Amino acid sequence: MRYIDDELRDKTILITGGAGFIGSNLAFYFQANHSKARVIVVDKFRSGATFSNGNLKSFGHFKNLLGFSGEVISGDINDPRVMESLEKNYKFDYIFHEAAISDTTVAEQDLMIKTNVNAYKNLLLIALKHNAHMIYASSAATYGDSDVFEVGNEQPNNVYGFSKVMMDNISYEYIKKQDNIKIVGLRYFNVYGKGEFFKNKTASTVVQFGHQLLAGNQVKLFEGSDKILRDFIYIEDVVQANIKAMEAKKSGVYNVGTGKARSFLDIADTVQKELGLSLDYEYIPNPFIGQYQFFTQANIDDTREFLGYEPRFSLEDGIKDYIFEIKRLFEAEVK
């Protein structure tokens, strides 16, 4: 979907988590297609701070925004002063809320809820005051071990998935109360593509496998990887879903996936094919049993009906489109 440039003339768009994976892709989408819109990016940006699992507290990286010409604000959505500044100094028309703790292995439940749930409600209140449409990142982690991937079948098996269920619950409460703005939650399945590299260990297996192979190493797969099936969605289709959500037929929570589950072995084989390689695999125990989804497959019937969304990239198409960037990153950041 592409708006005529003038349709967003003088509109102000806020993207939280805008130096992250999905947020930065949205920022560049608007810059490329809607030059008359004002785009504001807010991101905590990374420091050396880590969680108890050793992973970074923020994945926002300035390199994801190289070439961006909009306004960039360094700020934590948990900081009341940042939220007050956003409320008082701007008048937003659209808010794309991508900022979150997205690491499913984070054990700090208090900070997860504060960041993902409480801060979201505060931002939603700003949207209501500004009469701004709210489009936010939910997650397939809400389904957990459920075998039915439709809204109403949530069984989160980690605090991250729980936090996203709580976000969706808040959204439904406010959807009932008003109809002046659209409130749309997008339950992303396994997203991969340009901009994810700086997520480090939590980046997709697509880029991780690619860099292992380019380094001449064996790809490390969890035991039984041919039976671990996920719905892998390319970043271009995630951006598409966000843009479609701007004109959703009705507010609600929608799945964003391909509707087809593929294995981690499929990814490894496809990446090898695109790189012209055929190395053996090394199988290792899965350390995430109990907090890991072994099957996901989005039901996108409602997403098609109410957002007009249709995935354009198969796993093979997405990896083929992504492979140049994987090679570029290896030369620039890894080698």
Residues 225 and 247: their CA atoms lie apart, in Å, by 39
112 pLDDT more than 80? yes
pTM for the structure as a whole: 0.95
pLDDT at 291: 62
In a domain, residue 19? The reply is yes
Question: Is residue 202 one of the residues assigned to a domain?
Answer: no
Q: Are 138 and 188 in contact (CB under 8 A)?
A: yes
Asked if residue 92 is part of any domain, the answer here is yes
Q: Per the domain annotation, does 283 fall within a domain? A: no
Q: What is the DSSP letter of 105?
A: T
Q: How far apart are CA 321 and CA 302, in angstroms?
A: 27
Residues near 22 by beta carbon (within 8 Å), at least 6 away in sequence: 98, 137, 188, 191, 195, 235, 238, 239, 242
If one counts every other C-beta atom within 10 angstroms of the C-beta of residue 18, the result is 29
CA distance 154 to 135: 20
Task: Identify which of 1, 181, 187 has the alpha carbon closest to the alpha carbon of residue 94.
Answer: 181
Residue 121 belongs to some domain of the structure: yes
pLDDT at 292 over 90: no
| Residue 205: closest CA among 194, 218, 223, 192 | 192
* Section 288-298 average pLDDT: 81
Is position 184 within any domain?
Answer: yes
Task: Name the token pair of 94.
Answer: 């659209």
Active site residues: 160, 199
Band of the pLDDT at 1, cuts 50, 70, 90?
very low
In this structure, the dihedral spanned by the alpha carbons of residues 318, 324, 327 and 332, taken in order and rounded to 10 degrees, is -120
User: Average pLDDT of the chain?
Assistant: 95
**pLDDT confidence bin for 289, thresholds 50/70/90:** confident
Asked if 226 and 289 touch (Cβ cutoff 8 Å), the reply is no
Does position 6 have pLDDT exceeding 80, yes or no?
A: no
* CB neighbour class for 290 (10 Å; exposed up to 12, middle 13-18, buried from 19): exposed
Check residue 230 and give its pLDDT.
Answer: 95
Average pLDDT of span 272-277: 97
Rounded to whole angstroms, the Cα distance separating 314 from 237 reads: 10
Residue 68 belongs to a domain: yes
Ordered DSSP codes for 201-251: GGS-HHHHHHHHHHTTPPEEEETTGGG-EE-EEEHHHHHHHHHHHTT-SS-
Query: For residue 24, which of 53, 56, 65, 70 has the smallest C-alpha distance?
Result: 65
Question: d(Cα 198, Cα 292) in Å, to the nearest integer?
Answer: 22
Q: Cα(120)–Cα(124) distance, rounded to whole angstroms?
A: 6
- Strand 262-263 to 190-192 pairing: unpaired
Confidence of residue 5 (pLDDT cuts 50, 70, 90): low
- The answer to whether position 200 is within a domain reads no
pLDDT in tens, 145-179: 899 999 999 999 999 999 999 999 999 999 998 88
CATH of the domain at 171: 3.40.50.720
What's the domain count of the chain?
1
What range defines the domain where residue 162 resides? 5-192+233-257+297-312
Residue 94's beta-bridge partner residues? 13, 133
